Amino acid sequence: MNEMYRYVTIAVSPEWRRLDADVRTAHKRELAAVAGTGPARVHAYSLVGTRADADLLLWVVADELEDLRALERRLASTDLWAWSTRPYAYLAARRRSPYLGGHAHEGSEHARGTAGPLGDRAHVVIYPMVKKRAWYALPLADRARMMAKHFEIGHRYPDVRIHTAYSFGIDDQEFVVAFEVDDLRRFLALVADLRETEASAYTEREIPILVGTAMPLERALDEIDGASERVRALA
């Protein structure tokens, strides 16, 4: 099935941070409870310490667009949503790459048949991507040859799990690329190697880059205002 993906970031306002701690706790618990209802599957990542313009990333997986819309309507009914903005939000769909053929990268979503993150890696790196139009003017055989080099390099990093979702015609980018990884320095090394490939010259844009740390939504919400640190200090 070609599941739908929604990637949405949340940035709380400075005014929210100055609310009473009990009020903030109630707001966070309400949003977490709402996110746990319905058929859409919500994966949470803290952006604390990696972005200055967003605090929380939600990667939502659903069978249908309406499931994503229903979740966001429920989130919009919460108090925390009213005290926050959404700096970045992307829409995409799962689809098998035309360049894969019989190729299967071990651990990839197409190899295992499961949509979305497994959540067994410490971090996720997500970014929207647009290719230059000249890329699509190339013969398929040439593009496949260049992408084969990408796959070859990817096999050198079995600890980096890739997810490529498609946004052609449904959002401003063409792809949303996500990587699950334990050590961000390994991902940095992978990208450095990929920069030297022939296909890299055909990339038009791949920003903004979101680096999140995987954790339960309740904990990610507590990281926003440092509540988790206050609990540790009192322990």
91-114 per-position pLDDT tens digit: 999 988 887 665 555 555 555 567
Q: How many helices (H) and strands (E) does the chain have?
A: 10, 10
1-34 per-position pLDDT tens digit: 689 999 999 999 999 999 999 999 999 999 999 9
Q: Note the pLDDT of residue 22.
A: 97
Largest CA distance in the chain: 63
Span of 2-6, 44-48, 148-152, 207-211 with lowest mean pLDDT: 148-152
pTM for the whole thing? 0.91
Q: Note the pLDDT of residue 105.
A: 56
184: nearest Cα among 220, 213, 216: 213
159-211 per-position pLDDT tens digit: 999 999 999 999 999 999 999 999 999 999 999 999 999 999 999 999 999 99
Full residue range of the structural domain in which residue 176 is found: 4-234
Domain count, the chain: 1
Q: Note the pLDDT of residue 231.
A: 56
Residue 113 corresponds to which amino acid? G
208: domain CATH number is 3.30.70.1030
The helix-helix angle for 184-195 and 140-154 (nearest 10°) equals 150
Q: Note the pLDDT of residue 86.
A: 98
